[in-house]
A and B are shown apart, each in its own frame.
Chain A
Amino acid sequence: MMEANVNEPNRAASRTQAGAQSAARGKTQRVLRKLLLSEYFVLYLSIVYFLVLWPFIPRIASPQNLGNIFSNMWPLLAVAIGQTFVLIVAGIDLSQPSIMALVSVVGAAVMTTQLDPVLFEKSPLWGVVFTEAGGPLAGSFLAVPVAIFAMLLVGALIGWFNGTAVARLKMPPFMVTLVGMMFFSAFAIYLVKSENIIHLPESYVLLGQGQISFIPYSFFIVGALAIAAQWLLSRTVLARWFYAVGTNMRTATVSGVPVVRVIVLAYMLSGVFAAVGSVFYSARLAAGRPTLGATLLLDVVGATVIGGTSLFGGKGKIMWTVFGVLFFVLLDNSLNLLNLSYFWVQIVKGSVILMAAALDVARTRLLARG
């Protein structure tokens, strides 16, 4: 520390003072540094954000609002977990929202119990898949399980398609999934001519709205999936392959890592997890909606990246994504409580993401300095 107090007449006093100051500063700096570099940084950030807002918006801590935040997390987390896999292999999946929309329509089409001919007569599925009396499994006890299975299957298929284009045909992930986003969301709208499919079975709707005391079902299911995903990403052979492919694909290839299979698997997981998210979102809406998730892309990528998963590949953890999602849901919730207009919400959200990105750069630089 070069405390230049040379001009001060009372040198000794000022020196001790400066020494105490710099010692204190050194300590705060160390604590700040530790916080900034901690794995739990985003969790701390969320807590601080919450505590700072509490006096201004007391409603934020009401039991009902806390319940809201808690139940809003899990569907978004499901989708973000899928994104995490893809980011780790140095890809990106922009098609997730369109997967959510398409599988929401597919699932609803299978299990709906009644359709309005005025709305759906023009649909290409009319008379082929569904009629006035609903979907092919309308009223069957198999309707819900088969519908969910179909949703996951379609998610996996689109993921397989994306992954194959990226890994085997060496197309840039950004292009592949951007075009996928256009194609599949348009396709979902085309299938039902922009109409929502309602009259879904009660047991399905319960999946999105049901609770055990105040804990939503989605917590148990997505929570279990998150733990499974974390296990897959830390303990297994696949885990190490994911990170190897994301860090340096050429080294991975020479080392006998099945690079193509690993990348395809990452995109399939992304599709399946997007479908899981879609199950909960459309159950909550009690409808199959062809525009479901249309505004979610930024939330998903933003939450995952804020959590600490790198856009350049090779770095990421499910736990980080959990924190990122928590922060994002909290942000969204607080902006809603402030009664801001949609535009303001978007502006603030955008600024926060940008700040988070800047913080990430700062963290990376600190880490590099060792």
Chain B
Amino acid sequence: MSDVILSFENIEKSFFGVRVLKEITLGVPRGKVLGLVGENGAGKSTLMNLMGGVHAPDGGQMLLDSKPYAPRTPSDANDAGIAFIHQELNLFTNLSIAENIFIDGFPRMRWLPLLNRRHMRARTQQFLDAVELDVAPDTLVEKLSPGERQLAEIAKALSFDARIIIFDEPTTSLTARETERLFRLIDRLRSDGASIIYISHILPDVLRLADEIAVLRDGELVAHGQTSEFTINRMISLMVGRAIEQLYPERSAAPTATPVLEVQGVSQRGIVEAIDFTLHKGEILGVFGLMGSGRSELARILFGLDDHERGQISVAGKPYARPSARRSIDAGMAFVTENRRDEGLLMDISIAENIGLVALPHYAAASAGAVKEGRYYDQIGGVAESLAIKSGNIRQQAVKTLSGGNQQKTVIGKWLLDKPSVLIVDEPTRGVDVGAKYEIYSILNDLAADGAGILFISSELEELMGVCDRMLVMSNGEIQAVFDRSAFDKERILRAAFRENG
């Protein structure tokens, strides 16, 4: 047996005349973990879709166990023993784990047209044991946490004896503990002989897991070798095509002492408890916390999307009661939500109208009055330009056609027409590649230098340490600790974030 289980040979693929894969020749090592990295649009997903039978290559061929492999449908790929664990999971949330696992072929009773539930449960239990997921086979998937769902999906992959398992950004919605558990499982799958392709933007994870690393840039394979040959900096410069000296921009102005957002004793039972802090003009204030710590919930309360029972929120010294999104906006607040697809953007609508949506009422005398389109589109164009949103025509092109990074810049852009004094950003760099991350940090940096106060919520500690002036650490809905930039210390911050109450 050769030590390559699947190989790509001179693979070519174009969409709409654009070459997205250029003569890719790459071997997937047998029984090892191959880390696959590259910016968004580098061709990682296309390459995986060829393996998965979603698309067919325009040129070149794939060999599986040295035999030609040309899947025409995803189920061909499954039959060949190739399993995908997607970023967005592919389980039916209204069905049980066992039903999900057997969805492609339910076991029947021998004489009756009925399902053999006992057999389903027993088999499912074996797979659940294998992935160390401690729930009953009949549990509905909707009752599982994101991490548990992922394990259930891996259990499904095991059920059809997958020999190659592809993980595409598997940790984006996992807590630190779930991530650790997933890594242990990947290690074990490898020692059991499975071949694994691990795709992620989180480069330290790739270094930790992979035996070999392959780097894609603009549809070309720019490097492939043993993990020991790579460092994070080398991977980044290979991905970006130039050396990036620093991951975070230099802060260009110091925060002032003028408060722009004061929060006193804000509480909502079961969600947040006695939140007190002050955000200053020109300050980037980080909020770190694990999943479920209340960080995103706090942002929604501050912006007036959710209620709070007690406490007071003041913007620029003026308290406001009965908050709502419109009142918050009029008070000078802006909110870049965690989920840009569902809450940040109108995906089918043009970039220009998305950017204009928040400040829209200021461009007409009345809501039934005509929008002053000259000024409206001029200023929108100005915002798009200042953010360097890559688009041919912002008035024609729908947002959904943009890359993740440009979409995120559009979400930020729609708050900038109004020049907010308080900007709340929740996970602004999720699913965004290295280059765009740097751009987003720079935008936040510039806004702070122009006098906005920024509340930067994130689950990535490194970026908060790189960008923020101060950091609040939340756990169980409370602020556990506050650190100044000079006192940033990874271990102490994490300890505060893991602190349990009582």
| A interface residues, Cβ below 8 angstroms from B | 231-232, 235-238, 240-241, 243-244, 247-248, 250-258, 314-315, 370
Chain B 283-326 interface residues, beta-carbon cutoff 8 Å to A: 303, 305, 325-326
Please judge, given known A-B contacts A254-B337, A256-B329, whether A241 and B367 are in contact too, CB under 8 Å.
yes
Q: Are A237 and B364 in contact (CB under 8 A)?
A: yes
How far is B343's CA from A255's CA once the two chains are assembled, in angstroms?
Answer: 9
A248→B346 contact, CB < 8 A: yes
**Given A254-B305, A256-B329, A257-B357, also A237-B343 (CB < 8 A):** no
- Please tell me the size bucket of the interface on B: 20 to 34
A258: chain B residues within 8 A (beta carbon): 326
Q: Judge if B496 is at the interface, Cβ distance under 8 Å.
A: no
CB distance from B332 to the nearest CB of A (A): 12
> Quick check: A256 and B343 within 8 Å, CB to CB?
no
Are B346 and A238 neighbours in the complex by a CB distance under 8 Å? no
CB closest residue in chain B, given A310: B348
Minimum Cβ distance to chain A for residue B239 (Å): 28
B371 touches A237 (CB 8 A): yes
Closest to A231 in B: B370
> Could you list some 5 contacts between A and B, CB below 8 A?
A244-B349, A252-B357, A254-B303, A254-B337, A256-B325
Q: A232-B368, A244-B353, A255-B325 are in contact. List 12 more A-B contacts (CB 8 A).
A: A231-B370, A235-B370, A236-B369, A237-B363, A237-B366, A237-B371, A240-B353, A244-B349, A250-B342, A251-B345, A256-B325, A258-B326
B367 and chain A: residue at smallest CB distance: A237
B431 at the interface (CB under 8 A from A): no
Residues of A within 8 A of B361 (CB): 237
Return chain B residues, CB-CB under 8 Å to A231.
370
Most buried by B among A231, A232, A247, A255: A255
A-chain residues with CB within 8 Å of residue B335 when the two chains form the complex? 254
Q: How far is the CA of A252 from the CA of B357 in the complex (A)?
A: 8
A-B interface, 6 closest residue pairs, ranked by CB to CB distance from nearest: A256-B329, A256-B326, A247-B346, A235-B370, A237-B367, A255-B357
Closest approach, in angstroms, between the C-beta of A68 and any C-beta of chain B? 36
B281 touches A (CB below 8 Å): no
Q: How far is the CA of A159 from the CA of B305 in the complex (A)?
A: 27
Verify B348–A314 contact, CB threshold 8 A.
yes
Cβ of B347 under 8 Å from chain A: yes
A231-B370 Cα distance, complex, nearest whole Å? 9
B107 within 8 A of A: no
Query: Which B354-379 residues sit within 8 Å CB-CB of chain A?
Result: 356-358, 360-361, 363-364, 366-371, 373
Which of B345, B349, B356, B368 contacts A238, CB < 8 Å?
Answer: B368
B111: A residues at CB distance < 8 A: none
Nearest B residue to A239 via CB reads B371
With A240-B356, A243-B349 already in contact, the answer to whether A251 and B367 are too (CB < 8 A) is no
Q: Which residues of B sit under 8 angstroms from A370, Cβ to Cβ?
A: 16
- Given B347, B360, B367, which contacts A248 in the complex, CB threshold below 8 Å? B347
Q: Is B344 an interface residue (CB 8 A)?
A: yes
